Chain A
């Protein structure tokens, strides 16, 4: 368990370092979310009401997350680095966990700007909405990192990622908007349940998404021949 945590920490540190050097993803997410909220500010008619503006906030957050998720595996894709990571003896789910954590950090930064901007354009957000955003972030990053890994193997990866991710994000939007508009613990519990289910599913299935082979990471026993047909 400690070794697993160390692997996740090393891989997440690498992702944060790459972003610190390249400065590609977070600035784009910040600009995008502010621009989107500005567009909604002018697009929604005067007197539309708080409910519609909260819906617009959730659309902006999900699309901003999608922007970050689409770039999540770019360093690995451009230099075929998934081969090196897949060959390393670390548990392959550690790659997913680290990537999810780094995207979560980028998304949290974008939201630290987005929520005050929303307050300036529309109205302030309450504690329930903030709690919903935090819970939604976990689900978005868990599922989005898995779909990002699926998309990276394909040719039209920029098209595939939204097609895979957005249908899976519908429950997050339902839970998020419900928590923001209706309030109460029911929608927050729904988001927490989504997180629990999809974190577990993504963690367990990542190896089969990212790797064609499943040779043991360390030589616990003599290698056995495998038959392919």
Chain B
């Protein structure tokens, strides 16, 4: 699913990370930890296929097989949750789109606000929508950067259950709160 050998990333003279080796198959969860500025976000952007590494060897699946949650919710603030998910559902060629979107919005507590603009949402609600967007096309590889960010207790528990259900897939999760996903982690990578 995902393989990296001697992966490195530089921004000019600044080295973000180097010598990263990893293999991730379906059914495994890679927990990425490290202090602020250690390169977690950059590594996850590389592993999602958004950013190119500076060196090394990398095997990634096709774009349609990757689900990504980043620091930003990656949804249009002037559109509603329904419009956002419909747009991405069309781009990802999601079958039975309306049913899938309805199920996700219901599950993540956004059904009642599906016609309201995302700009009026709290950061936690936007994060729920971001997770819906990543789950929408049922990818094989999930790359989740601080997925618990801004979620309240109920949202965090919902994400716990969702991660349990995603266990048969390949997951890369970066978090400052490793205890939350420790029970699911099969692989660990600490960036320094």
Contacts and interface: CB of A to CB of B under 8 A. Distances in A.
Interface of A: 3, 6-7, 10-11, 14, 17-18, 21-22, 75, 78-81, 83-90, 212-213, 215-220, 223-229
B49 interface: yes
Interface size class of B (residues with CB under 8 A): 35 or more
Interface in B1-37: 3, 5
B73 interface: yes
B59 A89 contact: no
Given A14-B79, A79-B75, A217 B64 contact: yes
Contacts of A18: 76, 78-79
A212 B51 CA distance: 6
B78 A22 contact: yes
A16 B116 CA distance: 18
Contact of B91 (A7, A83, A216, A224): A7
A223 B48 contact: no
A59 B71 CA distance: 42
A89 B93 contact: yes
A24 to B, nearest CB: 10
A223 B60 contact: yes
A129 B112 CA distance: 52
A83 B63 contact: no
Interface of B: 3, 5, 45, 48-66, 68, 70-79, 83, 87-88, 90-93, 117, 133
Contact of A10 (B54, B58, B77, B87): B87
A12 to B, nearest CB: 11
A6 B92 contact: no
B90 A7 contact: yes
Contacts of B50: 83, 86-87, 212-213
Nearest to A24: B78
B11 to A, nearest CB: 12
A103 B3 CA distance: 41
Contacts of A84: 68, 74-75, 88, 133
Contact of A89 (B51, B79, B87, B91): B91
B93 to A, nearest CB: 7
A89 B52 CA distance: 17
10 contacts: A10-B91, A11-B91, A14-B76, A75-B78, A80-B70, A81-B74, A83-B45, A84-B68, A215-B49, A226-B57
Nearest to B91: A88
A228 B52 contact: yes
